[in-house]
Amino acid sequence: MVLKPVVQWKNPWLKRFGYAGLFPGSLLLGIILRIRYGWYFLTGGNARRFRTPVIAVGSLLTGGSGKTPLVKHLAIDLTLRGFKIAVISHGYRKRGPGMVIVSNGQQLLADVYAAGDESYMLAEDFIKNGLSIPVVSSPRRMDALRMLEATFQPDCVILDDGAQFRKLFKNCEILTRDYYGLTLPDWLLPVGRRRDLVLGRRDRVMHVITKVPTPAVHDMTIRYASSGLCFVSRYQPVHLCDWIGGRTYALGHLSGRTLILFSALGMNDDFYHTMRGLAANHSATVERIQEYQDHHWYTERDIRNIIGAVREERAENYLWITTPKDAVKIRPEWIPPELRGRFLSLYAEVVFDNENTYIESVMKITGLRPPSTL
């Protein structure tokens, strides 16, 4: 069973009972947050400022709003422009205690269990692309920042899911909201997906609407324009990756196949919607979907359940599709040898319609100048 806010429940009758029974909880959370921030401002609201500029990518919603892909996109883009970038991830549900240096920019220094799935995925992807971007996994953001300044001297540090961390001064805050979330009531947990209130200077806050299906829906961002700069991004499926064998396949590899989808994301529905669209475009059939809670640690038993009762004579037509975040948590030995080339992850890239304007706005707010002008 995957726990979700009431607004995402499928059964209309259960949803009605959920609204009635849990709405007081949302009201209580709203009161607690207002008291908390009232006290924050009353006591001065001082945040620790470091000499290294900090960009926080976060969301006011529960998981699945596209924070980590946006962190990856931003880190790569700034690195290609000549900046020395480092990334700090919270490392949710990681099994390694305290601060973990996942990568020094040259090699992986921790496994996925010590680092956490998102931290490890970022570090692995940076190294595969030949980019020297250190990644640290730590819930103690300021300790991690001190270590990065002393060890790597970055030009800028990006915090993954750092919007709620008020003790640290952020030069720029990028708040993400997925397109699907725009269609739901904007209520606080446990009824809605909102987990926090907007708090930050308007001149340092940017909004990014993620996972927008087509450029034709830009009008959906109008209500966010008054809160600061607002940009639109979408995921562009690129290819399928056999993470065990190290091979990549064009999306046409789906043609005529029977697909079994599985994932453990904050918003699994977005992945399934994308895959259904790809399946329709390539005459493939989605036979089954297996959904897990965000940051779920897979076991060999899970993989056996995902494989299911697929007959051996029919297995050659099956593909099991997941995401890169899930793939890093699956051990090759859990998959039968004859099926290892059939477990694939969908690789997608973040695409902005106005890429240069977005990056230049981040640089301007953060105070980053191109290295050639320094």
Residues 260-278 have pLDDT tens digits of 999 999 989 999 999 999 9
pLDDT confidence of residue 45: 64
The count of residues in the chain is 374
Q: Which residue has the tokens 């009824």?
A: 191
CB atoms within 10 A of CB 253: 15
CA–CA dist 68, 57 (Å, integer)? 8
Task: Give the pTM.
Answer: 0.92
pLDDT confidence of residue 199: 60
C-beta separation of 85 from 78 below 8 A: yes
272-295: pLDDT as tens digits: 999 999 999 999 999 999 999 999
204-248: pLDDT as tens digits: 889 999 988 765 455 555 555 555 688 989 999 999 999 999 999
- Decide which of 299 and 40 is more confident: 299
Of 197, 174, 191, 192, residue with least CA distance to 182: 192
CA–CA dist 198, 60 (Å, integer)? 7
Q: How many angstroms separate the Cα of 156 from the Cα of each of 56, 147, 362?
A: 11, 13, 11
Handedness of CA 79, 85, 90, 91 (dihedral sign): positive
pLDDT confidence of residue 216: 47
Of 238, 237, 234, 222, residue with least CA distance to 179: 234
Handedness of CA 29, 188, 349, 363 (dihedral sign): negative
Which phi and psi (to 5°) does residue 160 adopt?
-85, 120
Q: What is the mean pLDDT of residues 89-106?
A: 93
pLDDT confidence of residue 64: 82
Q: Using DSSP, how many helices (H) and how many strands (E) does the chain show?
A: 10, 13
Quote the tokens at residue 269.
């529905």
Q: What is the mean pLDDT of residues 36-64?
A: 83
Give the three-state DSSP class for 327: helix
pLDDT confidence of residue 331: 96
Give the three-state DSSP class for 144: helix
Which phi and psi (to 5°) does residue 100 adopt?
-125, 125
Q: For the chain, what percentages of helix, strand and coil (3-state, to nearest 5) are there?
A: 40, 25, 35
pLDDT confidence of residue 268: 93
130-145: pLDDT as tens digits: 999 999 999 999 999 9
Q: What is the mean pLDDT of residues 302-320?
A: 83
- Decide which of 204 and 203 is more confident: 204
What does the mean pLDDT of the chain come to? 89
Q: What is the mean pLDDT of residues 307-312?
A: 74
pLDDT band at residue 310 using 50, 70 and 90 as cut-offs? confident
Instruction: With a cut of 50, say whether residue 313 has pLDDT above it.
Output: yes
